[in-house]
Amino acid sequence: MLIPALNRFANAPGFVNCKIIFNRVEFFPMRFLYYKIRSIIAVCILGCCLASPPLADAEIRETGIPEFKKKITKVLSSSCLRKNNFGIKIYSLDRGESLYELRAGKLFIPASNLKILTTAVALQVLGPNYRFPTRIYTDGELKDGELNGNLYIKGYGDPKFVTEQMWLLVNKLKNLPLYKVNGNIIGDDSFFDDRKRVKTWIKNPGAQAYEAPLGALSFNFNTVQAFVGPGEKAGRKPKIIIEPDTEYITLDNQAKTLKPGKRGRLIVNRLDRNGFDEITVSGGIRLNQPRAQYFLNITDPTLYTLSTLKKYLHHADIKFRGEIIEDRVPETATELLTHESEPLTLALQGLNKFSNNFVAEQILKTIGAEKFGPPGTTLKGLKAFEEYLTELGYRQDQYKVLDGSGLSRQNRISPQMIIDILRYVKNDFGVYPEFVSALGVMGVDGNVKNRMRGVKISERARVKTGTLNYVSSLSGYFQSRDGETFAFSILMNSLKCSNGRIKKLQDQIIREGLNFRRIPTGSVVSE
Q: Where are the domains of the chain?
A: 2-52, 62-129+345-515, 131-342
pLDDT tens figures, 293-349: 999 999 999 999 999 999 999 999 999 999 999 999 999 999 999 999 999 999 999
- 36 pLDDT exceeds 80? no
The answer to whether 187 and 229 are in contact (CB under 8 A) is no
Split at pLDDT 50, 70, 90, the class of 478 is: very high
Contact present, 497 and 506 (Cβ < 8 Å): no
Query: Using CA atoms, how far apart are residues 258 and 248, in angstroms rounded to an integer?
Result: 30
Same fold, 62-129+345-515 and 131-342: no
d(CA 328, CA 339): 18
Q: pLDDT at residue 30 above 50?
A: no
Mean pLDDT of 130-141: 98
Angle at 487 between CA 352 and CA 399, to 5 degrees: 70
Give the type of residue at 257: T
Band (21; pLDDT cuts 50, 70, 90):
very low
| Contact between 415 and 490 (Cβ < 8 Å) | yes
CATH class of 131-342: alpha beta
- Read off the pLDDT of each residue in 461-486 and give the average, rounded to a whole number: 97
Report pLDDT for 31: 41
Q: Which pLDDT belongs to residue 58? A: 40
Instruction: Give percent of the chain above pLDDT 70.
Output: 86
Amino acid at 222: N
Read off the pLDDT band of 522 (50, 70, 90).
low
Residue 326 or 20, more confident: 326
For the segment 388-439, what is each residue's pLDDT rounded down to a tens digit? Answer: 999 999 999 999 999 999 999 999 999 999 999 999 999 999 999 999 999 9
Provide the pLDDT for residue 200. Answer: 84
Give pLDDT, residue 453. 84
* 159 pLDDT above the threshold of 60: yes
| 3-class DSSP assignment, residue 374 | coil
pLDDT per position as a tens digit, 363-386:
999 999 999 999 999 999 999 999
Does residue 244 have a cis peptide bond before it, meaning omega lies within 30 degrees of 0?
A: yes
Among 137-141, 505-509, 517-521, the minimum mean pLDDT is found in 517-521
Exposed, middle or buried: residue 274 (CB in 10 Å: 0-12, 13-18, 19+)?
A: exposed
Distance CA 13, CA 56 (A): 11
**Mean pLDDT across the stretch 485-500?**
95
Q: Which residues 6+ apart lie within 8 Å of 422 measured at CB?
A: 93, 116, 475, 476, 477, 487, 489
- Specify the amino acid at residue 478: F
pTM of the model: 0.85
Model confidence pLDDT, tens digit, residues 39-60: 444 433 334 433 434 434 444 4
- Predicted confidence at residue 64, as pLDDT, reads 84
Q: Are 410 and 400 in contact (CB under 8 A)?
A: yes
Coil, strand or helix: which one is 124? helix
What is the rounded distance in angstroms from the CA atom of residue 461 to the CA atom of residue 515? 12
Exposed, middle or buried: residue 219 (CB in 10 Å: 0-12, 13-18, 19+)? buried
In the chain, pLDDT over 90 holds for what percent of residues?
A: 80
Q: What is the dihedral of CA 426, 120, 117, 207, to 10 degrees?
A: 130
Of 201-215, 238-252, 472-486, least confident by mean pLDDT is: 201-215
Give the Cα separation of 144 and 159 in Å (integer): 34
CATH architecture of 62-129+345-515: 3-Layer(aba) Sandwich (3.40)
Look at residue 440 and tell me whether its pLDDT is greater than 80: yes
Give residue 519's pLDDT.
79
Per DSSP bridges, beta strands 86-92 and 97-102 are antiparallel
Task: Check the CA dihedral 92-418-209-230 and report its sign.
Answer: negative
Q: How far apart are the first and last CA of the chain?
A: 58
Q: Render pLDDT for 237-286 as a digit per residue (tens, 0 to 9).
A: 999 999 999 999 999 999 999 999 899 899 999 999 888 999 999 999 99
Q: Are strands 141-143 and 146-148 parallel, antiparallel or unpaired?
A: antiparallel
Q: CA 177, CA 234: separation in Å to the nearest integer?
A: 51
